[in-house]
Copies of this chain bind each other. A is one copy, B any other.
């Protein structure tokens, strides 16, 4: 090691003339050896004193250098057994959902089904800023959410034919927190949670984080839910909770039939199951008149035993950077969730909630524009796929934000890897299921502008064409999938 390090003092010159401290130079040298593999990963570095003696420098310098290496992730300690070489981000392997800005650049991101903010956003922010003084004079803590926002959310449910009082609403920092809070309140490690297969990857990640036992009920790419099968699975497995997406199911895009909606709550009640109904996409119907939503009664409207917890939020119809979601449930459940929430993050951001209220006041125009935009982009994406990749099949959804595409072979993961090299970040089917299933599918969101979608399909066709090339081992699936 000392021999390998003979030139380390060279690192003290830092380009612009000034000299860096000895410890930093030593750390840089060791990082260099790690990078070009002259020191392998996972090997034990000499004790600080040994290395100090070998290099003829003070132990303090070596200590500082090792500490620097630890903070940059090139060294890990195991108590009693010394310091071992590592690479930064090595810990990321297997960790779900980490955003990696490095992946940006020319990359077209089809991993996230997330739109940019609506045109009315700045206007809503200005309105919120005017409202703010009424709140900045207080401590700013409203764990259940700002009354003004809870009222608007309750009114929206009531408007959809589901009478709701503000006491039945908890405002959360996004739908993800809504689901996480409910899991914390209702599910213990090892208990069963039923989800659709395929379903939303970040909820699967949350279920893994809570160490729940995941049971799945499949949603057919063409036909959607199989009523008898789903109800039978509820009766048989009696899961603690079931998580379902009745509107424009993510990722298949299906809409749950009226009859199944009406049967779910009582079957769930008899099975002792609470239902998490995710309405993230409920407003995003693309082929129907504006009042079409009313034709689809919320699952909660069939709930006679306070078994349904309905979650929704601003991320999909409005903007993901606005972290506002909600839970609708019976008042006592909301009270318990609010109490739990204080231990999790105290309370939500006041300003974001005021912006959300201002956006909801503009729901009509915002959603109309969003639907128009998504309809056009869906059709552009569908057209490009039919033309360039006719061997892939899909049913254009009547709403939502993505196509669930069946490939001509079970190669989704390999395709995503190839696509990455061609400049497209892709969410392969297995991300939406458990145990590496769904290799025949990919989700293609249509949230980007038409030209980007056309270019993305062109690159996908290229990736599909050279699926045979060997892949660099380093590749990992897109980390943030929304």
Chain B residues near A345 (CB-CB < 8 A): 172-174, 176-177, 180, 323, 345
Take A88-B331, A349-B322 as given contacts and tell me if A343 and B205 are in contact as well, using a CB distance cutoff of 8 Å: yes
A117 contact set on B, CB distance < 8 A: 136-137, 140
Contact residues, A95-128 vs B (CB, 8 A): 95-99, 101, 109, 112, 114-117, 121-122, 125-126
Cβ–Cβ < 8 Å partners of A135 in chain B: 321
Asked if A320 CB lies within 8 Å of chain B CBs, one says yes
Interface size class of A (residues with CB under 8 A): 35 or more
The yes or no answer to A91 lying at the interface (CB within 8 A) is yes
Could you say which of B66, B76, B206 contacts A304, with CB atoms under 8 Å apart? B66
How many subunits of this chain does the assembly comprise?
2
Closest to A88 in B: B331
- Bound-state CA distance A152–B77 (Å) is 29
A selection of 14 A-B contacts at a CB cut-off of 8 Å is A67-B306, A71-B168, A91-B336, A96-B343, A117-B136, A121-B136, A122-B136, A140-B321, A141-B320, A177-B346, A184-B209, A321-B349, A323-B346, A351-B351
Extra contacts besides A141-B480, A189-B189, A342-B479 (17): CB < 8 Å? A66-B304, A71-B331, A72-B331, A77-B269, A98-B339, A99-B143, A99-B144, A117-B137, A122-B133, A139-B482, A176-B342, A202-B342, A206-B343, A322-B349, A323-B347, A345-B345, A352-B352
Which residues of A approach B to under 8 Å, CB–CB? 63, 66-67, 70-73, 76-77, 79, 86, 88-92, 95-99, 101, 109, 112, 114-117, 121-122, 125-126, 129, 132-133, 135-144, 147, 165, 167-168, 172-174, 176-177, 180, 184, 189, 202, 205-206, 208-209, 269-270, 272, 303-306, 315, 319-323, 330-333, 335-336, 338-340, 342-352, 355, 479-480, 482
